[in-house]
Chains A and B, each alone.
Chain A
């Protein structure tokens, strides 16, 4: 009889992603949040005054806004126990060799340089608060493509930056966008000129290393008319017994006839609170696609949205969430139809295991005048046992005429018949379950570049085999 060795996902995550390296930092701000910390961050970055004022105003807004009283339970977050700014290296490198050894080792272990060599057109690596490595294929920069970290963009492209920054997601949008606006650091800035197609993906890798770290990257992507870009982000962190906070803001502008795809493979350790605001504006006949994979984290609240601003604009959200023991994935999407003849789809797949909880939360709004628009929402939940839970919270507001709005939701369990069938071919129970889950999320996986699809299937396998740690 063949026996399958058990993989302990806790151990395996620790080995592959969950390790940490010593803190040997250039600058570590004190714990807690106050105007002095915000001033210190801005001073460290040598920012123009308007940005400092933007930050301080955002901090006030954050203070005034109550915690969201819907979604996941966030009452355990202690904002005064978090480090808001950690700088691990005094310069940004364009060569992995130039990085401080511990940081280089970290990215080597995560396989980022290898991925860059094989299939990426540009890479950004953020370590704690700052981007430490950056690269972009030369032919793309010759075509006028800008791919840099957001701090550098503020310095090097001030006009472009100021024109768009904070216009898609103002600080007052929600409590966490206000927090991000006050203490933001790092993130990616991308500008794709008119008619330029970036055929090979650009990737950013976000890494938290220190305990009680707060990572607040800020990403701004501008796709000019008729352009295309595919941006991929990956995220991991060490396993600590106390919590870390990741609260990003991602703003995207997709101009006429342009297309932007934004793919996330988030694999935070289960001590991370992941509270992210992602929003795109899509203009005439433009397409915005969010491909959003949420594994890991303790709590995720994330609802990528698309504002369909002009006729013919199209928005897609395709998301997968996996919640294991002690995890709550509250995810979904928002489609705001402002103009007529706009279309949107949201496809949400969730898997709950070992008492984990997934929620789909979605909002479809069709403003007066957004006539002849179409939206379709499909949520499928897979429960792997009786202790796990899945809920659906769809909100629809339709004030337009002659519109089509569809919503389909299913909740299913791994069926005995499927398990029996696969096992009757010699496949072990755990492998059969993994196959069924991978088959369930295949509509998502098939949208990923091959290397990421393979990695996602492997991550699912780890989540399935272990007692999720």
Chain B
């Protein structure tokens, strides 16, 4: 039994079936890439795994730490050890990134505003934050700013990665983290993820393009077409896609970003 098992997952959006039976087993220490053309269901997969209310589960299960996470609330999934880096991180005015990070960390520790012993101390929080920023080679200039408010595309993705580093998930889903980023930002994100790679973390990278996979070498690659995996294997699949695209499944979409 793998650490994180997706079994025959089927899901729909506004009554339209998008995922038509996805099965995938991820172990901690592994990096899986899911690739697919536009409309194949990549975003539906990431959002359904995390429990976004706009996506309806029609069948299947997702087993993590002995629980079917599909029955859990979004926040419960997160506290269990799941993390989703969003393609489009959301703006929340009036709340600083620092406050957000601290609140999220406290939530993860089970602090509910009552039992102060579970609360992270200001000193501990500061030193942890400083440490992660150093490891990620990030400056702290965006921390006093409101959540994602006025952030550039690159800043948003950096902020997502910082949240991941602070919350230390066991299963991280990176949803099109590379889209819209310049090559320097892609390298930065990739290096950060590579640093976090290890026996305690399983990663699911969802991407349209092969480029990020030049920097984060996946152990497994799965091709998603029309809501189903049509091909699974090792990193060589990414190379094959780079050459032939999604054409063999009747998709004209190119897996390479046009420079």
Interface residues of A (CB under 8 A from B): 1-2, 4-5, 415-418, 420-429, 431-432, 435-436, 438-443, 461
B99 to chain A, nearest CB (A): 8
B85 to chain A, nearest CB (A): 10
**Pairwise interchain contact B90-A443, C-beta atoms closer than 8 A:** no
B128 to chain A, nearest CB (A): 15
**Pairwise interchain contact B54-A424, C-beta atoms closer than 8 A:** no
Alpha-carbon distance A416/B77, docked complex (angstroms): 17
Interface stretch among B17-25, B108-116, B202-210, B237-245?
B108-116
A-B complex: 3 closest residue pairs judged by Cβ atoms: A439-B94, A442-B94, A426-B78
B112 to chain A, nearest CB (A): 5
Alpha-carbon distance A254/B23, docked complex (angstroms): 72
Q: Pick the contact of B100 from A2, A425, A428 — CB < 8 Å?
A: A425
**Pairwise interchain contact A426-B104, C-beta atoms closer than 8 A:** yes
**Pairwise interchain contact A425-B92, C-beta atoms closer than 8 A:** no
**Pairwise interchain contact B93-A431, C-beta atoms closer than 8 A:** no
B89 to chain A, nearest CB (A): 7
- Which of chain A's residues has its CB closest to B52's CB? A420
- Which of chain A's residues has its CB closest to B173's CB? A424
**Pairwise interchain contact B90-A418, C-beta atoms closer than 8 A:** yes
Answer yes or no: B53 CB below 8 A from chain A CBs. Answer: yes
**Pairwise interchain contact A428-B93, C-beta atoms closer than 8 A:** no
**Pairwise interchain contact B75-A418, C-beta atoms closer than 8 A:** no
Answer yes or no: B74 CB below 8 A from chain A CBs. Answer: yes
Q: Which residues of A contact B79 (CB under 8 A)?
A: 1-2, 426
**With A424-B77, A424-B83 given, can you name 15 additional A-B contacts, CB distance below 8 Å?**
A2-B107, A2-B112, A415-B90, A418-B90, A424-B74, A424-B75, A425-B104, A425-B107, A425-B167, A426-B78, A426-B108, A427-B107, A431-B103, A439-B94, A443-B94
**Pairwise interchain contact A439-B167, C-beta atoms closer than 8 A:** no
Alpha-carbon distance A429/B243, docked complex (angstroms): 46
7 pairs of residues in contact across A and B, judged by CB atoms under 8 Å: A1-B80, A415-B90, A421-B90, A423-B74, A425-B167, A435-B103, A436-B95
Answer yes or no: B76 CB below 8 A from chain A CBs. Answer: yes
Q: Which residues of A contact B83 (CB under 8 A)?
A: 424
Per-position binary interface string of chain B over residues 96-136, scored 1 when its CB falls under 8 Å from any chain A CB and 0 otherwise: 00011001100110101110000000000000000000000
Q: Which residues of A contact B95 (CB under 8 A)?
A: 435-436, 438-439, 442
**Pairwise interchain contact A440-B93, C-beta atoms closer than 8 A:** yes
**Pairwise interchain contact B75-A427, C-beta atoms closer than 8 A:** yes
Answer yes or no: B230 CB below 8 A from chain A CBs. Answer: no
- Which of chain A's residues has its CB closest to B72's CB? A1
Q: Pick the contact of A424 from B78, B99, B108, B113 — CB < 8 Å?
A: B78
Answer yes or no: B221 CB below 8 A from chain A CBs. Answer: no
Q: Which of B150-187 contact A (CB under 8 A)?
A: 163, 167
Q: Which residues of A contact B94 (CB under 8 A)?
A: 438-443
Q: Which residues of B contact A2 (CB under 8 A)?
A: 76, 79, 107, 110, 112
Interface residues of B (CB under 8 A from A): 50-54, 72-80, 83-84, 86, 89-90, 92-95, 99-100, 103-104, 107-108, 110, 112-114, 146-147, 163, 167
- Which of chain A's residues has its CB closest to B115's CB? A5
**Pairwise interchain contact B54-A416, C-beta atoms closer than 8 A:** yes
Alpha-carbon distance A11/B10, docked complex (angstroms): 45
Q: Which residues of A contact B163 (CB under 8 A)?
A: 425
Alpha-carbon distance A131/B228, docked complex (angstroms): 75
* Residue of A1, A432, A435, A439 with most chain B CB atoms under a 10 A cut-off: A439
Main secondary structure of the interface of B (DSSP, over half): mixed
* Residue of A421, A422, A426, A429 with most chain B CB atoms under a 10 A cut-off: A426
Alpha-carbon distance A107/B107, docked complex (angstroms): 34
Alpha-carbon distance A420/B52, docked complex (angstroms): 6
Alpha-carbon distance A436/B76, docked complex (angstroms): 19
B23 to chain A, nearest CB (A): 23
A438-B95, A441-B94 as given contacts; A424 in contact with B107, CB under 8 Å: no
**Pairwise interchain contact A442-B78, C-beta atoms closer than 8 A:** no
Q: Which residues of B contact A1 (CB under 8 A)?
A: 72, 76, 79-80
**Pairwise interchain contact A439-B103, C-beta atoms closer than 8 A:** no
**Pairwise interchain contact B75-A428, C-beta atoms closer than 8 A:** yes
A63 to chain B, nearest CB (A): 47
Q: Which residues of A contact B74 (CB under 8 A)?
A: 420, 423-424
Alpha-carbon distance A224/B163, docked complex (angstroms): 52
**Pairwise interchain contact A421-B86, C-beta atoms closer than 8 A:** yes
A420-B52, A421-B86 as given contacts; A426 in contact with B93, CB under 8 Å: no
**Pairwise interchain contact B92-A423, C-beta atoms closer than 8 A:** no
- Which of chain B's residues has its CB closest to A427's CB? B107
- Which of chain A's residues has its CB closest to B110's CB? A2
Q: Which residues of A contact B147 (CB under 8 A)?
A: 439
Alpha-carbon distance A379/B189, docked complex (angstroms): 40
- Which of chain B's residues has its CB closest to A465's CB? B113
Q: Pick the contact of B73 from A415, A416, A423 — CB < 8 Å?
A: A423
A438-B95, A439-B95 as given contacts; A421 in contact with B75, CB under 8 Å: no
Q: Which residues of A contact B72 (CB under 8 A)?
A: 1
Q: Pick the contact of A418 from B51, B92, B103 — CB < 8 Å?
A: B92
* Residue of A421, A423, A425, A438 with most chain B CB atoms under a 10 A cut-off: A425
Q: Which residues of B contact A429 (CB under 8 A)?
A: 73, 75
**Pairwise interchain contact A4-B93, C-beta atoms closer than 8 A:** no
Alpha-carbon distance A422/B94, docked complex (angstroms): 14
Q: Which residues of A contact B93 (CB under 8 A)?
A: 439-440, 442
- Which of chain A's residues has its CB closest to B89's CB? A421
A118 to chain B, nearest CB (A): 19
Q: Which residues of A contact B100 (CB under 8 A)?
A: 422, 425, 435
**Pairwise interchain contact A439-B73, C-beta atoms closer than 8 A:** no
Q: Pick the contact of A439 from B50, B92, B110 — CB < 8 Å?
A: B92
Alpha-carbon distance A427/B163, docked complex (angstroms): 13
* Residue of B75, B103, B163 with most chain A CB atoms under a 10 A cut-off: B75
Q: Which residues of B contact A417 (CB under 8 A)?
A: 90
Q: Which residues of A contact B89 (CB under 8 A)?
A: 421
Alpha-carbon distance A439/B52, docked complex (angstroms): 22
- Which of chain B's residues has its CB closest to A415's CB? B90
B10 to chain A, nearest CB (A): 21
A458 to chain B, nearest CB (A): 9
Q: Which residues of B contact A415 (CB under 8 A)?
A: 90
- Which of chain B's residues has its CB closest to A420's CB? B52
**Pairwise interchain contact B84-A424, C-beta atoms closer than 8 A:** yes
